[in-house]
Amino acid sequence: MERIEHRACFGGWQDVYEHASDTLDCTMRFAVYLPPQAERARLPVLYWLSGLTCNEQNFITKAGAQRYAAEHGVILVAPDTSPRGDDVPDADGYDLGKGAGFYVDATQQPWATHYRMYDYVVRELPALIEANFPVTDGRGISGHSMGGHGALLIALRNPGRYRSVSAFSPIVAPSQVPWGEKALGAYLGDDRSAWAQYDATALIADAPERLALLVEQGEADEFLEGQLKPQLLRAACEAAGHPLELRMRPGYDHSYYFIASFIGEHIEHHARALRDGG
């Protein structure tokens, strides 16, 4: 594991690391923000999963999250969104292949060898973080768009592992929208029964833990009607009695200006759960 960026930020350090991932069979980068409190105490970790086309840089340069992480004493970890490198298969278009791992473990070729972002985010990355940084076992998870999908499904499938979960503009029902149908079809094959384990809306009915979901959604989001459809998640939560706070925000779109405007409230939400649960 090698540190390749190290920059003072809000009294702490915004770092980027590179490491050889066994799970993904390639070199990966992830970002870590260590707030000033990390000099003298173990802190909980909020994992952030980014959306289509992103890498580990988008969140740390555009969301303005470090200010709030420093205020609340939370470490932020932001991985890349897919395996990387010349040996990794890719596809034309921005919504499949590199930058579009969809937080699944692919079963179909040519994807199955490297595209194992679910396993990477659930297992390998936290193990690396917990072995190398001053962290408690308090974990929260959040993300944007494809990463919001990732955060929701990962929390739903791993009871007890996360104390808090939230999402911005998530793809809540990938099995029912074009982005998800394309990606899940390619990575998992045509049998749609294999898709349900990577679909938050489909997972709600039998979720083994009723961890509350916080979802932030802009009403002027250009993908709201075609790809995001938060009403599908709401209906599933109502049917199952799963707690959901869905905040619809008039005027806001899909961009980082939206995330920046509300990331402070999300970090406060996670910090409260991580502190009380600690």
Which residue ranges make up the site for a second copy (CB under 8 A)?
Answer: 7-11, 14, 61-62, 64, 66-67, 218, 220, 249, 251-253, 255-258, 260-261, 264
For 43, the token pair is 């802190």
Concerning whether 254 is annotated as a catalytic residue, the answer is yes
C-beta closer to a second copy: residue 103 or 168: 168
Q: Which is nearer to a second copy, 5 or 90 (CB)?
A: 5
CB 142 → a second copy: shortest distance, Å? 18
Would you call 90 a catalytic residue per the annotation?
no
Among 80, 142, 221, 269, the active-site one is 221
Q: Which residues pair with 217 in a beta bridge?
A: 248
Least distance (Å) from a second copy to the CB of residue 249?
Answer: 8
Shortest spacing between CB 258 and a second copy, in angstroms = 7
Catalytic annotation, pick one of 21, 50, 145, 166: 145
For this structure, is 6 an active site residue? no
Give dist(CA 200, CA 231) in Å, integer: 12
- Shortest separation between residue 62's beta carbon and a second copy, angstroms: 5
Please report how close the Cβ of residue 65 comes to a second copy at its closest, in angstroms: 9
- What is the distance between the alpha carbons of residues 196 and 104, in angstroms, rounded to a whole number? 11
Catalytic one among 72, 144, 242, 254?
254
Residues with catalytic annotation? Answer: 145, 221, 254
